[in-house]
Chain A
Amino acid sequence: MVEDLEGDWHQLRMLDNRAQQEGTVALDEPLRGLLRRSGPSLAMTTAEIEAGLRTPEGATALLHRMRQRITEGSRRIGDALHRMYRLRDEGDLDGARQQMRDVLAVEVVPYYRELAEGQLADLD
């Protein structure tokens, strides 16, 4: 199932959706665990995470920032891949590679970076 493969990221999406609707999120142990656990996958520092876990408002804001990294990264890599395929098919390999380099110039999430690096390597 997609939810299982997405793992903690799916949990973050669901909680952020709820937090956006209700205005806040319950700062309980499961949430602390989720934010601490998934922080590294979203290039959040320990300091950032712990600061956010001091208050419910901080946790809500941290949760939202983490979700935004997932969402923006998804949009960024998807757009870049689509353009890359088009350029590659047109024979513009340099242009195709540049799409992935442009992602790597700004993306901080390791998983998305690995995708871009892999596609860049495959273009060689």
Chain B
Amino acid sequence: MGAMKCRAWIALLVAGVLTEGCATASLASCNPADSTLSCCVKQHPLSPVDSCGASEAEALAVLTILKTAYEASRLAEDVEDGLAQLPEWKQVCIRNYVDCKNQGWKGGCYDCLRYCEGQHEWPFRACSPDRRK
């Protein structure tokens, strides 16, 4: 168990390793609340359909819940401390992603996060605050 699977899981869910380590390995392990399916997907995040017999929709649903849980842990009060270990450009991508989600920016926040990861800058034409009025 442990480090390798945790790393693979995070690599998948955080789209190409936005974090350098596995500070919260517990997110990758099964707990009593997990269904058989979600436990299986946690254990085989790179092959949820093949290994778990899940449909793509089921796999996506479980991975989305896991991703949200991971992101929520980053949104906790001490998120600034957690982010401080990352290179600044990664911190900026994550910060913009959090604002995109929390402030309801127009555009696909997660797609923009992936783009930011590749280009090291947030694509404001694709994802930006909308007008309220």
Interface residues of A (CB under 8 A from B): 1-3, 5-7, 9-10, 13, 70-71, 73-75, 77-78, 81-82, 85, 111-112, 115, 118-119, 121-122
State A121–B132 Cα separation when bound (angstroms): 9
Q: How far does the Cβ of B77 sit from chain A's closest Cβ, in whole Å?
A: 14
Residue of B107, B121, B128 touching A71 (CB-CB under 8 A): B121
Q: Is B112's CB under 8 angstroms from A122's CB?
A: no
Decide yes or no whether B122 CB sits under 8 A from chain A: yes
Which chain A residues lie closer than 8 Å to B111 at the CB level? 1-2
Q: How far does the Cβ of B62 sit from chain A's closest Cβ, in whole Å?
A: 25
- CB contacts under 8 Å to A, within B94-133, are 95-96, 99, 102-103, 107-108, 111-112, 114-115, 119, 121-129, 131-133
Q: Is A5's CB under 8 angstroms from B99's CB?
A: no
Q: How far does the Cβ of A85 sit from chain B's closest Cβ, in whole Å?
A: 6
Q: Is A13's CB under 8 angstroms from B119's CB?
A: yes
Decide yes or no whether B92 CB sits under 8 A from chain A: yes
Q: Decide: A115 near B129, CB < 8 A? Known: A5-B107, A85-B99.
A: yes
Q: Is B131's CB under 8 angstroms from A2's CB?
A: no
Most central of A2, A10, A74 by chain B CB within 10 Å:
A2
The chain B residue with its CB closest to the CB of A119 is B129
Q: Is B126's CB under 8 angstroms from A78's CB?
A: no
Q: Is A5's CB under 8 angstroms from B123's CB?
A: yes
Q: How far does the Cβ of A64 sit from chain B's closest Cβ, in whole Å?
A: 14
Number of interface residues of B (CB under 8 A): 25
Q: Is B125's CB under 8 angstroms from A78's CB?
A: no
Q: Is A2's CB under 8 angstroms from B115's CB?
A: yes
Q: Is A121's CB under 8 angstroms from B133's CB?
A: yes
State A21–B128 Cα separation when bound (angstroms): 30
- A-B residue pairs in contact (CB < 8 Å), sample of 28: A1-B111, A2-B107, A2-B111, A2-B112, A2-B115, A2-B127, A3-B115, A5-B123, A6-B123, A6-B126, A9-B125, A10-B123, A13-B121, A70-B121, A71-B121, A75-B92, A78-B99, A78-B122, A82-B95, A85-B99, A85-B103, A111-B125, A112-B124, A115-B128, A115-B129, A118-B131, A121-B131, A121-B133
State A90–B27 Cα separation when bound (angstroms): 32
Q: Is A81's CB under 8 angstroms from B129's CB?
A: yes
Which chain A residues lie closer than 8 Å to B114 at the CB level? 2
